[in-house]
Amino acid sequence: MHNDPQSAPANGDFTRRTFAVTTLAAGFALAVQPVSAQTITTDTTGLEAGEVKIPTPDGEIPGYRAMPAKAGPFPVILVVQEIFGVHEHIKDLCRRLAKVGYLAVAPALYARQGDVSTIKDISEIIAKVVSKVPDAQVLSDLDATVAWVKASGKGDTTKLGVTGFCWGGRIVWLYAAHNPSLKAGVAWYGRLISPPDALHPKNPIDLAGELKAPVLGLYGGADQGIPVETVDQMRAELKKANKTAEIIVYPDTPHGFNADYRPSYTKDKAEDGWQRMLAWFKQYGVS
């Protein structure tokens, strides 16, 4: 047994045996049910959509990919999950992007740490799984996803964008400081300042001067978890660093305003943000 290279971590790396999630959950995460009557469901007509396996240096992670059902390659959008993982809402967002011509892919970025789809309590999701997901691992998995898309021949990774929501909104800022090949990012209500720790050593505000791509931030003025003053601080840092970025704050709008399956959904702001996102990608070469 000791001769099996998979039986023990090498240099602290994870092995294939430690992956907690090997397939995506169906439907919506338990913590967000019952889902709202206004939940949007996008069909797969004209699309090729479904679960995929994405190779990383230490094994495969599942993901969801949607793209037009015609010859590519297509411009590529990485879709970064909320804290609830790659559940039905994130899959639907991929299909919406595919409907307008993108290859959209959402890798399961907690695959090693746990399955959040079966946990009812949000604080438990954060304590047991999300807090244990290292930023370095997330950035590496996004890089691996880009490499997988490129190797597939289906996506044109010279036209690469990233968008993310809530937990994923923060990751958009980090990835824009990480990948010099990124063309543009759109961060939906991602936290900008949090107490750092060993697994999450830097905040988006710490990386404002290191952005390698233009980023659009979409925020709610009534977000209980992201104080507007932190958004103002981020704006100031971006301006000081002379970075191409824009942050929209919708007045009297809560966190999760694009989450159409939740009570926080704010239809007019969500639709405005979606159009701004598409325009941002087009403006900066992700089209």
Residue type, 10: A
Residue 87 is among the residues annotated as catalytic for this protein: no
Known catalytic residue: 178?
no
Q: Is the dihedral of CA 32, 38, 40, 43 positive or negative?
A: positive
Confirm whether 94 is a catalytic residue. Answer: no
Give the torsion sign (CA, 285, 102, 23, 255): positive
In the chain, what are the helix, strand and coil shares in percent, each to the nearest 5? Answer: 35, 20, 45
Of the candidates 195, 237, 194, 197, the residue with the CA atom closest to the CA atom of residue 217: 237
**Gyration radius of the chain over CA positions:** 18
Instruction: Give the C-alpha separation, 166 to 81, whole Å.
Output: 8
Say which amino acid occupies 81.
Answer: Q
Q: 220 - beta bridge partners?
A: 250
Residues contacting residue 218 through CB under 8 Å, at least 6 positions apart: 186, 187, 188, 189, 247, 248, 250, 258, 273, 276, 277
Centre a 10 Å sphere on the Cβ of residue 151 and count the other Cβ atoms it contains: 11
Annotated catalytic residue, options 92, 115, 223, 260? 223
The catalytic residue among 87, 141, 255, 260 is 255
Q: Which ranges constitute the DSSP H helices of 106-212?
A: 122-128, 135-152, 167-178
Active-site choice (92, 166, 178, 260): 166
Are the beta carbons of 112 and 140 closer than 8 angstroms?
A: no
Residues annotated as part of the active site: 166, 223, 255
